Amino acid sequence: MPPHEDISEDVVELAKRRGYFFQTAQAYGGVAGFYTYGPQGAGLKQNVEDAWRDRFAIAEGHQLVDAPTIMPEAVFEASGHLDTFDDMLVECAECGESHRADHLIEDAPGSDVEDAEALPIPEVEELLREFEIGCPTCGADLAGEPVEDFNLMFGTNIGPGDSQPGYLRPETAQGIFVEFPRLKQYARGQLPFGVTQIGRAYRNEISPRKSIIRTREFTQAELEHFIDPEVDEPDLDAVADVECTFYPVSEQQADDGEPIRATVAEAVEDGIVESDWIAYYLGLTKRWYDRVGVDMDRFRFRQHLPGELAHYSSDCWDAEGFAAGDWIEMAGFSYRSDYDLSKHAEHSEEEFTVFKQYDEPQTTKQATVDPDMSELGPAFGGAAGDVADALEELAGEAPNRFDAAAAEPAGTVDVDVDGETYEVPFEHTGYAVEEVTEAGEHLRPHVVEPSFGVDRLLYVLVEHAYREDEIDGEERAYLALDSEVAPTTVGVFPLMDKDGMGERAGEIASELREAGLSVTYDDSGAIGRRYRRQDEVGTPFCVTVDHDSLEDDTVTIRERDSTEQIRVDIEALPRLCRDLRDGVRSFDALAEDAPAAE
């Protein structure tokens, strides 16, 4: 079990002071739910996004797209977001402040409710009374106040005058789904294929909280993997031995339930994770989170309870990291079936399918109808067209009904249209059974979706990297960020800015930048203070130019976590720093071949 110490105040203070993230527009009082990334945070964010793109797009052979953040209303009518994308709101009658009712219940003293979001509104209203919950702003009693669904979509208008209504996207996924008819062409119509996107999304949160953990504007990294559910299977062998902590619904609902440690292969075999595709991506993700610096002792996969499932999802697992005193959702892994493509096909009347060619043409018998409208028109009037459509649908679903009618003298076929039954003489249906030879079929793919929250991951990485120790009798706070994602790779210092040491250090900094490394140069203050500043922002290595450097063309490299220093040739420095950043060589391995610095 992870430690319960909440160090979020220390982390947020460090993040603000050292340029990781801070509330936006504080000169104007700030605005809840919006954060700006400073120089360090923007660098960390870019590196994390690059690492995600490397693992989930490039390494998997998936496409990458970049769709607009605003789309027309019709898109979100089709996707269901306008009707179902809600949170539970309770408004204080005294001060008028709005709050998320489910969060108030989960945070109430003595509450053991872990997922109030999954509860029906009447039960949430009863819990507000039971826990005697007051308004966090003014303290007024919220018992008896109505709880309502609040849609989280940001609305806007597209164009002037009688403009078209639109919305800021609440997820990047819809930008992929609506373009499926074109994206499938780029994939040459071959399943499976994946499409990835990293971009901004917007949700008008009722009560943003915990700095960048819950905001109104955030960055998602999403992958939509389109598959043939009858044929396509993932390469489970590639992740079979990845050991994870799983917290399935059965354990969450049990009185003494506990998370389960198992490999991906064991989780699939034991039915903990039902979808092979979700299991595959859980395995990839666990390895990737470990690679970029998430503490695996504070990490788990939790399955959504039935009441939590989104309107499009048949199963979903969250990747959670323990931070800010709680479990934080960092990613969701959902099996969306063909929901999204079906909805967009229905609303747009476009083809959201791929053509699946058979190995050999197949000949089948197919029931068809060709209704005699000269008879149906006078008989059924304005309903004749709908009756004809109903006959066509019935021929595909229940041709035996036509066969039965044909076997009876003056037999009729009954069809229902808008709740009314119409009897159609068999002789007027134009029913026939034909042999049809087909080269293939049109298939609507299913979708497996890993969706990553970049901002929440950044917070978890910073908190999991936060360390405190003592060096030479002085307390030190530092960020043990992995060198792959650390915003700055190398700090370059002259021991003193005299005797040419400053000029040589400046030259080395330029050479390292030309080699593609992120470098900071600092000649201000005592060398020990400069080391501490770089430790605190997570810079993994510091290079110092001293008197010996001017004589023998060597410098010291200092490693952040251990503070150990070694001497290396300046000529080899760019290559060594790249190897250290990319994990090609460890500092310990380098230290075995290099002399320690005095």
Among 426, 573, 451, smallest CA distance to 507 is for: 573
Domain that holds residue 385: 360-443
Confidence band for 311, pLDDT divided at 50, 70 and 90: low
**Residue 1 has what pLDDT?**
43
Confidence band for 438, pLDDT divided at 50, 70 and 90: confident
| Total domains, the chain | 3
Beta bridge partners of 150: 87
Residue 222 within any structural domain of the chain = yes
Residue 159 within any structural domain of the chain = no
* Same domain for 344 and 202: yes
Stretch among 46-60, 84-98, 221-235, 281-295 having the lowest mean pLDDT: 84-98
**Residue 282 has what pLDDT?**
98
Q: What is the mean pLDDT of residues 507-515?
A: 98
* Same domain for 377 and 340: no
* Same domain for 216 and 286: yes
* Same domain for 290 and 261: yes
* Same domain for 468 and 324: yes
Where would I find the H helices in 151-238?
173-177, 180-186
Structure tokens at 333: 């892994």
Residue 541 has pLDDT above 90, yes or no: yes
Residue 165 within any structural domain of the chain = no
Q: What is the mean pLDDT of residues 36-52?
A: 98
More confident residue, 207 or 23: 23
* Same domain for 386 and 312: no
Q: List CB contacts of 144: < 8 A, sequence separation 6 or more.
A: 129
**Residue 117 has what pLDDT?**
85
* Same domain for 541 and 588: yes
Confidence band for 176, pLDDT divided at 50, 70 and 90: very high
Confidence band for 330, pLDDT divided at 50, 70 and 90: very high
Residue 433 has pLDDT above 80, yes or no: yes
Residue 240 within any structural domain of the chain = yes
Residue 376 has pLDDT above 60, yes or no: yes
Stretch among 175-189, 404-418, 425-439, 488-502 having the lowest mean pLDDT: 425-439
Q: What is the mean pLDDT of residues 72-100?
A: 92
Residue 453 within any structural domain of the chain = yes
Q: Rounded to whole angstroms, how far apart are CA atoms 375 and 409?
A: 18
* Same domain for 334 and 201: yes
Confidence band for 83, pLDDT divided at 50, 70 and 90: confident
Average pLDDT of the chain is 94
* Same domain for 429 and 300: no
Percent of the chain with pLDDT strictly greater than 70: 99
At residue 393's C-alpha, the angle toward residues 389 and 397, to 5°, is: 165
Neighbours of 343 (CB within 10 A): 18
Q: Burial, 413: exposed, middle or buried (Cβ in 10 Å; 0-12, 13-18, 19+)?
A: buried
Q: What is the mean pLDDT of residues 497-503?
A: 93
Q: What is the mean pLDDT of residues 346-370?
A: 88
Q: Is 195 helix (H, G, I), strand (E, B) or coil?
A: strand
* Same domain for 425 and 460: no
Q: What is the mean pLDDT of residues 151-162?
A: 90
Residue 26 within any structural domain of the chain = yes
Q: What is the mean pLDDT of residues 470-474?
A: 89
* Same domain for 345 and 392: no
Q: How does DSSP classify residue 487?
A: S
pTM for this entry = 0.85
Residue 220 within any structural domain of the chain = yes
Residue 175 has pLDDT above 60, yes or no: yes
**Residue 221 has what pLDDT?**
98
Percent of the chain with pLDDT strictly greater than 90: 85
* Same domain for 340 and 241: yes
CATH of the domain at 570: 3.40.50.800
Q: What is the biggest distance separating any 2 CA atoms in the chain, rounded to whole angstroms?
A: 113
Residue 264 within any structural domain of the chain = yes
**Residue 357 has what pLDDT?**
81
